Amino acid sequence: MARLTYARLQAGLIGCLGLGLAASAFAEPLQRVITLGGSVTEIAVALGAEARLVARDTTSNYPDSILALPDVGYIRALSPEGVLAQDPGLVVAEGDAGPPEAVEVLKAAGVPFALVPEATTPEGVTAKITAVAAALDLAPEGEKLAAQVEADLAKARTRAEAVTGKKRVLFILSLQGGRIMAGGEGTEAEGIIALSGGANAATGFSGYKQMTDEAVIAAAPDVVLMMDREGDLAVADADLWAHPALALTSAGRSQKVIRMDGMLLLGFGPRTPQAAAALYDALYPAAG
């Protein structure tokens, strides 16, 4: 490395956060931070730590200002060399960072590596904020941000609970080869749908899985929900409604699809209350 950061000079730093040591044990906040995971980056910025960030992963695309930072790759397919080239003093990552071998290489290289718990429900957002704040030695700022987000989430829950005649929403992750991959139980998609006053139409399975045509018809969605994508992963409306199973559903007959930014919709970060409000308004426009 061209130089050693302050963090590298601290005794016993290897994996320190993973071993449960508080960030406050250091004489000064760790600088040269790399954040991996869009929600982790959003939280770091919301906590006022943007000036300490030196790199990000591909999923970190908000706010626009962080796009100027070097991109070290996709969070689940990290290259240790690419991360280490940025000479980080601390890496803060969502729990699905990987592959595991890459994480182990980073820890063995003497880089403090904080894994933040994943969240698939609104309740996990505040825990994620608290964990990021602890890693960055910004506990007071974390408490303030968590309190504000929780208050906004409470408003969203109240609004969702008041909905009668909930719309059945089918979240489609991809449509390839005529097969629909949808968000089932326990997914981020189900969490945001519930927070927005909808009902997940994809039940009977967990995670993101392909559905048979019969299952799609039986799900009887009123609305299709998708991420707003470009390139090879984009699905045009014409292709969506040409699907024979979807065409037999209420969503297909009305051609009702809602597209939202993927990180806003599924990131479960500080903007989750805004995502819930936007999806609620799209599901129930007459209530606005």
Residue 162: the pLDDT is: 97
Domains of the chain, each with CATH number or no CATH: 7-152 (3.40.50.1980), 168-287 (3.40.50.1980)
Q: What is the pLDDT of residues 8-50, one digit of tens each?
A: 333 333 333 443 334 333 444 568 999 999 999 999 999 999 9
For residue 29, what pLDDT is reported? 55
Residue labelled with tokens 């071993």: 19
Interatomic CA distance for residues 202 and 219, integer angstroms: 6
Start-to-end Cα distance in the chain: 56
Of the listed ranges 1-5, 118-122, 182-186, the one predicted with least confidence: 1-5
pLDDT at 163: 97
Which residue type does 140 have? P
Ranking 12-26, 119-133, 171-185, 235-249 by mean pLDDT, the lowest is 12-26
3-state secondary structure 75-91: CCCCCHHHHHCCCCCEE
Angle at 279 between CA 47 and CA 121, to 5 degrees: 55
Q: What does DSSP assign to residue 139?
A: H
Q: Tell me the sheet residues that pair with 114.
A: 92
Contacting residues for 240 by C-beta, under 8 A, at least 6 apart: 172, 175, 224, 226, 246, 257
Per-residue pLDDT of 187-231, as tens digits, reads 999 999 999 999 999 999 999 999 999 999 999 999 999 999 877
**pLDDT the model gives residue 288:** 61
Position 231 scores a pLDDT of 72
Q: What is the pLDDT of residues 110-167, one digit of tens each?
A: 989 999 998 888 889 999 999 999 999 999 999 999 999 999 999 999 999 999 999 9
Encode pLDDT of 40-54 as tens digits: 999 999 999 999 999
Residue that the structure tokens 């409000």 belong to: 277
Minimal CA–CA distance to 63: which of 78, 82, 43?
43
Average pLDDT of the residues in 242-255: 97
| CA atoms 252, 256, 262, 264: torsion sign | negative
Q: What per-residue confidence (pLDDT) applies to 8?
A: 36
Report d(CA 226, CA 171) in Å as an integer.
6
Please, which residues bridge with residue 287 across strands?
none
SS (H, E, C) 214-271: HHHHHHCCCEEEEECCCHHHCCCHHHHHCCCCHHHCHHHHHCCEEEECHHHHHCCCCC
pTM: 0.87
Of 189, 199, 188, nearest to 222 by C-alpha is: 199
